[in-house]
A and B are shown apart, each in its own frame.
Chain A
Amino acid sequence: MYDFLQYLLDGLAIGSVYSLIAVGYSLVFGVLRMVNFAHGEFFMLGAYLFMFFFNLKIPLWISFVLSALFVGMLSVGMERFLYKPLRKSGRFAPLIMAVGLSLFLQNFVQIIFSPNPQSFTVSLPEGIIQWGEDILIRKKDIYIFAITLVLTFVFDAFIRFTSFGRAIRAVSMHPQAAMLVGIPFNRIISITFFLGAVMAVVGGVMQGMSTNQIWPFMGVHSGLKAFAAAVLGGTGELWGAVLGGFFIGISESLLVGYDLSMYKDGLAYLILVVFLLYRPQGILGKKLTVKV
């Protein structure tokens, strides 16, 4: 019993990282009906850029802000110059472009830094808290989970209460109607990309601070699972993405705990397939009423 609880708690931290990445996938898919395959790379780039700035002796918080801004602007630029022209170019062009971009970014980083894992020298506070007799919780995990939750609440408030947030929801629901009420479609797309990328950057930095290791392919690896989380929770739904991330993190943790870790990687994909086939709107999603 306590083992189960232990694995559950471990899974929340892993899941948090997936959640942060999943938010971006989910929101972008919501507004553009497009899977930005390259989204996972924002996660990776965030970690690398943070390290880069930090190694230049730039203070922690400023390094973070700089990385977030840089990656955010990169995502906006990518959308504006590489995805937008393809909106009418047939069914697969955007997806193939995204695959190309993803490959490009991974290999670009590999060349500039190194294909080997780099060390991430900033850490979250160490230490373990004991809960009852049998359960150990790492302080790091608490930080990650807490930050994720706080960010999600803030984001949720943004979506619910600000006019931009309302505009994002409107565009997700019905792009043409959104245009007709005067919502600046392209600007909302850019904002959505930016916000999603920033969340991914937070995820990347936290991953680095937790495992103290980053490598060029961490984006693909975690990104696809995060996509599974987004579908599981319901694409376009903020809390869906977050809960989906936790779910996958916990499932993986349970597999590892019960000695089935060789199936760990396949699990997220299995979940993805099952949901795509039988419940594409995910757990929290609504049946799409607008023709996609």
Chain B
Amino acid sequence: MDQDHQQNYVLRTIEERRVRLVRLWFTDVLGQLKSVAISPVELETAFDEGIQFDGSAIDGFSRVQESDVLAFPDANSFQLMPGVTDDDELTARIFCDITNLDRSPFQGDPRQVLKRNLSAAAEAGYQFMAAPEVEFFYLASDDLGSTPVPLDNASYFDLTTFDENSSIRRRTIQRLEATGIPVEYSFHEDAPSQHEIDLRYADGLTMADSVMALRMIVREVAMASGVHATFMPKPMEGVQGSGMHTHVSLWSGDTNAFWDPEDPYGLSGVAKGFIAGLLHHAREVTAVTNQLVNSYKRLVAGFEAPVHVSWARNNRSALVRVPVTKQGKEDQDTRLEYRSLDPAANPYLAYSVILAAGLKGIREGYELPDEATTNLFQEGSASGGELLPQNLSIALDEMERSELVQDALGEHIFEWVLRNKRAEWDAYRSHVSSFEIQRYLRSW
């Protein structure tokens, strides 16, 4: 895979297809997509010398000194982006790696953090594959002054006839597929106007890039129809929130390292170690997989979201689920599903901590606890094992004590996340909610 060939391919394609604008994409620590648009003539220089910008303008990129950083386009991630409508000009996007001025990897760049963790997996002999199920809501508007209004009242798998949603969703999927993000399934989810798009698995870096692109494409296509799409984990009280259940597997070459035909569960020692690692460190990584104050309104009993640290085969109330595989396809399909993750997470950081926790379980030979056999949604908390952190503040306490998370994220991002999220919690803590007004104002 020759770097020069890739760059030539990109430069030549831009010329042949008359691309007018190249968007350099990267991600801040919170997982917001950032973009610098350059003219195609600048791209060759960008490959060679990087594009310099002031990192302190980006959340999580700030440091007291040396705030200037370089963005180097990753030619392998180059993708032409057809317009949302046919009249739109053809543009191209390309993900960037951020470096310091001396070209050493910039500690605050989430994409490089994931690359580092993927390399650690590769050194241990594994390739990390991920496939997310991304849930989101379509809302009539993004007016902050009113309660969110869904577009329909349909439910799980409903095929609605008069349903503008599904036409928006169809166009979204076409656009995803056209830009190299294969969709496995998509359907109407449980709650009104809630939809789910399941992506076909890919290696961790490609998938994190894809999640970033997906969030933008979903919003962009919705906006073209005057609809607002939101990945907020729990936009409406009383209905289920949006998760991003993520299926993960480790591969050694052509072999699924999670599968063992001799094991009664079909799970290899590697898989068991990975699950044990996930469970052992689950509370520590939750501030990363569920990073918003609002994330924890989803992680409550009764709404199909995990509440306890537990694992099970085909039990949807568990935090780690081992899905039943299709018969005869076990060697391909054996995988784990991590179910606390929500779609507002930074996918680079979330995959980093999930992978680090799993690898640690394998490396240190953690013992896999017993499978949860009862429905944890209905059982009281007593039998369900440890609870996941119940709010962002508890999750941050757990994270702060975690060597694993600190190593996985690197000190720069680790500290920045703690500082930024503590501030978010403090702002929330002093907020007087409508719950309080309604409950207390007249009674007291």
- Verify that A and B bind, or say they do not: no
Chain A positions within 8 Å of B, measured between CB atoms, are none
